[in-house]
Amino acid sequence: MNIPAKPDPLVNNWARPFWDGTREEKLLIQKCSDCEQYIFYPRMACPHCFSENIEWVEASGKGTIYAFTVVESNAPSPFLEDMPYVIAVIILEEGVRMLSNIVDCNPDDLQCDQSVEVTFEKMNDEFTLPKFKPVKV
Ligand SMILES: [Zn+2]
């Protein structure tokens, strides 16, 4: 069976700085310069006050697991070799939510509200993916 390669992320012009940041192992998110709220996913205007006065800032990379699922079966796809893998919604310290994977863990040991921190996984010369791993205590 011919399994295609993993797809690159789809990138629009206003998300480009996010991917430029991850390539340098920096987790960048937007912040509104008018209402000072953090913003993720990348947008052209602030979803809170509709200002277009938005800057990019580096997030701490720390957060907690809001929700997660463990993928243990899958149709033939480029992700088969990763199973079991964890898909999670992470709440960053800055308050925004990010969908990613939890890696470097035993999926059976994960819990909601658990502390995690960002780690970077290079896909190719253009894309590095931000993933999260449990904070060792
Ligand atoms: Zn705003």
Per-residue model confidence as pLDDT tens digits over 30-45: 999 999 999 999 999 9
Query: Averaged over 93-102, what is the pLDDT?
Result: 98
Under 8 Å between Cβ of 37 and 53: no
Under 8 Å between Cβ of 49 and 31: no
Rounded to the nearest angstrom, the distance between the alpha carbon of 37 and the centre of ligand 1 is 6
Rounded to the nearest angstrom, the distance between the alpha carbon of 121 and the centre of ligand 1 is 31
The separation between the first and the last C-alpha atoms of the chain, rounded to the nearest angstrom, is 43
How does DSSP classify residue 99?
Answer: E
Cα–Cα distance measured from residue 13 to residue 17, given in angstroms and rounded to the nearest whole number: 8
pLDDT score of 1 more than 70: no
Cα–Cα distance measured from residue 109 to residue 91, given in angstroms and rounded to the nearest whole number: 19
Under 8 Å between Cβ of 120 and 2: no
Rounded to the nearest angstrom, the distance between the alpha carbon of 116 and the centre of ligand 1 is 27
In sequence order, the 6+-apart residues with CB closer than 8 A to the CB of 75 are: none
pLDDT score of 3 more than 90: no
> Which one, of 38, 21, 33, lies nearest residue 94 by Cα?
38
81 phi, psi to nearest 5 deg = -70, -15
Rounded to the nearest angstrom, the distance between the alpha carbon of 60 and the centre of ligand 1 is 20
Say what percent of the chain tops pLDDT 70: 99
Rounded to the nearest angstrom, the distance between the alpha carbon of 13 and the centre of ligand 1 is 20
Three-state DSSP class for residue 52: coil
Query: Averaged over 103-119, what is the pLDDT?
Result: 97
Rounded to the nearest angstrom, the distance between the alpha carbon of 95 and the centre of ligand 1 is 14
**Confidence band, pLDDT 50/70/90 cuts, at residue 134:** very high
Rounded to the nearest angstrom, the distance between the alpha carbon of 50 and the centre of ligand 1 is 6
Rounded to the nearest angstrom, the distance between the alpha carbon of 94 and the centre of ligand 1 is 14
Per-residue model confidence as pLDDT tens digits over 60-82: 999 999 999 999 988 878 888 89
